């Protein structure tokens, strides 16, 4: 026969465990967090400002000089950059390329050399044919190009000196409006 005081520890029930001060605090914290999550689900749409209206798409080949205008500092904030001779509209990625962004050096520029060599700096050549890059660097630029093709709209080709712009008649009126 055990004495009553020896049996006392076994009387700690699950309820006692759950209602211990530390667990009560944890439960309150969890309930509060769940409340905040549920509340934000219902109110989220109201608080988030609507995204700015999308700019009209442009389809046009550009020279390096023309490309330079699209560095995000113009009133419409459009940002273009070129990789391997293809110009992409990266305005959606403005937080990367827009003024003050970590990759703003690529805005309005041919970014091929920088992306290939891992340097956030654009070539200042009139036209950079990147013929001096290594096979690895060119492969890296190709990977970046593929990533851009998946994520961003193509604007056209970066024109080499003496090359003339192709006509993209379908979007021509929009293109003229935006340039």
Residue number with CB closer to ligand HEM (129 or 143): 143
Q: What's the CA gap between 113 and 141, in Å, rounded?
A: 8
Token pair listed for 170 = 């379908």
Identify the helix (H) or strand (E) that includes residue 88: strand 86-89
* Secondary structure class of 57 (helix, strand, coil): coil
Residue number with CB closer to ligand HEM (59 or 109): 109
Sort residue 118 into left (φ over 0), alpha (ψ -120 to 50) or beta. Answer: left
Smallest distance, Å, CB 30 to ligand HEM? 30
Decide if 81 contacts 55 (C-beta within 8 A).
Answer: no
Smallest distance, Å, CB 112 to ligand HEM? 11
* Cβ-defined contacts of 39-42 (< 8 Å, 24+): none
Residue with the two structure tokens 């309005």: 108
Residue number with CB closer to ligand HEM (149 or 176): 149
Binding residues for ligand HEM, rule: CB under 6 A, are 90, 93, 96, 103, 114-115, 118-120, 151
Q: What's the CA gap between 108 and 101, in Å, rounded?
A: 13
Residue number with CB closer to ligand HEM (65 or 120): 120
Which residue minimizes CB distance to ligand HEM? 93
Beta-bridge partners for 82: 87, 110
Residue number with CB closer to ligand HEM (140 or 157): 140
Smallest distance, Å, CB 129 to ligand HEM? 19
Smallest distance, Å, CB 103 to ligand HEM? 5
Smallest distance, Å, CB 126 to ligand HEM? 22
């Amino acid at each position: 026969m055990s004495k009553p005081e020896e049996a006392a520890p076994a009387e700690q029930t699950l309820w006692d465990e759950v209602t211990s001060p530390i667990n009560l605090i944890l439960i309150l914290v969890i309930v509060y967090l769940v409340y905040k999550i549920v509340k934000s689900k219902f109110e989220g749409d109201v608080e988030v400002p609507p995204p700015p209206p999308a700019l009209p798409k442009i389809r046009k080949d550009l020279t390096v000089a023309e490309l330079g205008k699209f560095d995000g500092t113009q009133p419409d904030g459009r940002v273009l950059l070129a990789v391997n001779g293809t110009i992409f509209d990266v305005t959606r990625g403005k937080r990367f390329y827009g003024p003050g962004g970590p990759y703003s050096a690529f805005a309005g520029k041919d970014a091929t050399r920088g992306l290939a060599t891992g340097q956030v700096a654009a070539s200042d050549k009139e036209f950079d044919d990147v013929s001096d890059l290594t096979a690895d660097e060119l492969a890296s630029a190709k990977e970046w190009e593929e990533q851009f093709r998946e994520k961003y709209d193509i604007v056209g080709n970066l024109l080499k000196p003496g090359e003339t712009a192709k006509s993209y008649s379908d979007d021509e009126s929009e293109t003229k409006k935006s340039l």
